[in-house]
Amino acid sequence: MAGKTLVPETFGPLQGLRFLSTGTLIAAPFACSLAADLGADVIQFERPGAGDTGWRTIGLMVPMRDGGKISTTWVQERRNFFCVTLDFSKPRGRDLFLKLAEQADVWIESSKPGTYARWGLDDETVHAINPRLVITHVSGYGQSGDPEYARRTSYDIVGQAFGGTLYQTGFPDPSPPSRAAPWVGDYLTAYMGFGASLAAVIHARTTGKGQSIDLAQFEAIHRVLGGTMVEYFQLGIVRERSGNRALGFQPFNTFQCSDGWVVLGALGGPHYDNVCRIIGLDPAEPRWQNARTALESIEGIEFDAILRGWVSERTVSEVVATLNAKSIPCSRIMSSKDCAEDPQYRARGVHVEWFDEQAGPVKGIGVVPRFSLTPGKIFRGSVGVGYDNERVYGDLLGIQRSELDELRADKVI
C-alpha cells in the first residue's frame, strides 16, 4: 500500500493493508469490518449529507451523545472505520476515488452489475490506475449470467431463498420455511468475500497483478448446502425440511426441559450408548441400537419419547451438567442474556467495552478470532457521516481546506 496509514497504532495481522468499502448494509461492509478489527485501514464511503440511511437507522437504536439515535448494528460493525462521503456520479468524485484507489489494496463494493462502470469506474479503468488492486464485487446474482437476474436486487432472505437454504430450514409442511436469523446469508457472503479478497492480495503480492472477484450472494449461500446437490444429481433426492432433528440418526434435536430448552447431539455410537444408559435403557438391546438410525420405527419413536420425558422432568442446568459429564454434546439454547451472563463468555472476554464516537461508552462483541502474535483491537468506535473527510482527503490526498469547502458546497463530498 502506498502512502501513510490512517490507523493511529500498529496492531493486527493486516496492518499495512488498505480496504476501500463502498457497499451498504451487511455483506460487503462486514467483510471490511473483519479487516478493520485486524489492523487494516478501512475507508467507508457514504452518500454526501444523508450517509447510509439504511444501516445507520435500521433495527433497534441506541441514543447518541448529540440527542439523536444510531443503529445497534452500526455501532457493532462500523467501529475502526474511517467514514467519508463521496458522490461517485460526479466527475470530481470519480477522480477522488481513483486517487484513493491508487493507494489501496482491496476495493469491496456491492451494487447491481454495471453501476460503477456508468460512472467511469469500470474495472479496467481502476486497474489502469492501480494494477495490484483487488476488486471484489458483491451482488445478489453475480456479474454475469442470465441478463434478467442481473437487474434484480437481493437482500438476505432473498439470497437464502434463491441459494437453497430457506427451502430446507424450518419444520415440515404445513409450517412455512424459516430464515436463518439474524442475517446469516449476508454474513456468510461477507466471510467468503473477506477470505477471497485476502487470497487475491496474496496473489497480487506474489505476482504484482490484482484481479476482480465476482461474488454472488446466492452462490456463497449455495456453497454451504453440504451434500444437498449431490443428493439431487446422483440420487434424485430433494432434501426437505426436517425441523431441528438430523437426517438418519438420533438424538440430534432440541428438547424442552422444565425451565427452558437444550440442544443435544449424539453423533457417535459411544455417545448414543451413554444417552441410553443415562435414561435407563440398555444400549446392547437390538431394538435400541435400531432406534438410533431408524427414526420412524416403533422403537425409534419410543426412544425419542423416553428421552423427551427424561429431559422434561429436569432443569436445563441439570440436563446440561449430566450429559456433558458423560461427554455427550449438549448446550442450553442461549439468549443474548444467557450469553452475557455465561461464565465461558466471561472467562474468554468475548464481550468488551469501547468508546463509540456517537453513542459514548458501549459494550458488545470483541474481536474474533484470537491471534497469539498479532491480536486485533478496537481503537475507536463508529463515527458520524463524513467524520473523516479532512483526514482522508486532506492527509492522504493533500487537498487543502479551501478546496474541501468547495467540494462540500458542490456536494461532491
Per residue in 107-127, pLDDT (tens digit) is 999 999 999 999 999 999 999
- How much of the chain, in percent, has pLDDT values that exceed 90? 94
The pLDDT score that the predictor gives to residue 53 is: 82
Instruction: Name residue 226's amino acid.
Output: G
Mean predicted lDDT score pLDDT of the chain: 96
Stretch 393-406: mean pLDDT, rounded? 95
The question of whether 105 is a catalytic residue gets the answer: no
User: In a 3-state reduction of DSSP, which class is residue 281?
Assistant: coil
The CATH number of residue 278's host domain is 3.30.1540.10
Per residue in 32-43, pLDDT (tens digit) is 999 999 999 999
Domain termination residue (choose one: 286, 308, 334): 334
Statement to judge: residues 266 and 324 lie in one domain? yes
Name the band, by pLDDT with cuts 50, 70 and 90, for residue 150.
confident
- Give the C-alpha separation, 203 to 216, whole Å: 21
Residue 394 forms part of a structural domain: yes
Range of the domain at 156: 18-224+349-409
- Give the C-alpha separation, 369 to 377, whole Å: 11
Statement to judge: residues 220 and 281 lie in one domain? no
Q: Which of 186, 273, 356, 388 is catalytic?
A: 186
pTM confidence score: 0.94
Stretch 206-210: mean pLDDT, rounded? 98
User: Which has more pLDDT, 283 or 55?
Assistant: 283
Statement to judge: residues 291 and 379 lie in one domain? no
- Give the C-alpha separation, 297 to 181, whole Å: 33
Per residue in 209-220, pLDDT (tens digit) is 999 999 999 999
Residue 234 forms part of a structural domain: no
Stretch 133-151: mean pLDDT, rounded? 94
Statement to judge: residues 168 and 36 lie in one domain? yes
The CATH number of residue 395's host domain is 3.40.50.10540
The secondary structure element, H or E, covering residue 6 is none
Statement to judge: residues 115 and 67 lie in one domain? yes
Statement to judge: residues 217 and 272 lie in one domain? no
Are the C-beta atoms of 159 and 185 separated by less than 8 Å?
yes
Name the band, by pLDDT with cuts 50, 70 and 90, for residue 3.
low
Stretch 268-281: mean pLDDT, rounded? 93
Residue 5 forms part of a structural domain: no
Contacts of 356 (CB under 8 A, 6+ apart): 75, 79, 362, 381, 382
Residue 229 forms part of a structural domain: no
Are the C-beta atoms of 48 and 27 separated by less than 8 Å?
no
- Distances in Å between the Cα of 236 and the Cα atoms of 29, 60, 175, 246 are 39, 44, 24, 20
Q: How many helices (H) and strands (E) does the chain have?
A: 18, 13
**In the predicted model, is pLDDT for residue 59 greater than 90?**
no
Instruction: Name residue 139's amino acid.
Output: S
Are the C-beta atoms of 45 and 111 separated by less than 8 Å?
no
Stretch 200-213: mean pLDDT, rounded? 98
Stretch 311-338: mean pLDDT, rounded? 97
Statement to judge: residues 28 and 134 lie in one domain? yes
Stretch 88-94: mean pLDDT, rounded? 96
CA triple 103-106-112, angle to 5 deg: 120
Residue 244 forms part of a structural domain: no
Are the C-beta atoms of 166 and 177 separated by less than 8 Å?
yes
Statement to judge: residues 361 and 316 lie in one domain? no
Statement to judge: residues 260 and 204 lie in one domain? no
Per residue in 329-376, pLDDT (tens digit) is 999 999 999 999 999 999 999 999 999 999 999 999 999 999 999 999
Statement to judge: residues 379 and 329 lie in one domain? no
The pLDDT score that the predictor gives to residue 312 is: 98
Q: How many domains does the chain have?
A: 2
Contacts of 18 (CB under 8 A, 6+ apart): 1, 5, 6, 40, 41, 42, 43, 103, 104, 105, 106
Residue 103 in grid coordinates:
493507494
First to last CA, the chain: 24
Name the band, by pLDDT with cuts 50, 70 and 90, for residue 1.
low
Residue 51 forms part of a structural domain: yes
Statement to judge: residues 259 and 300 lie in one domain? yes
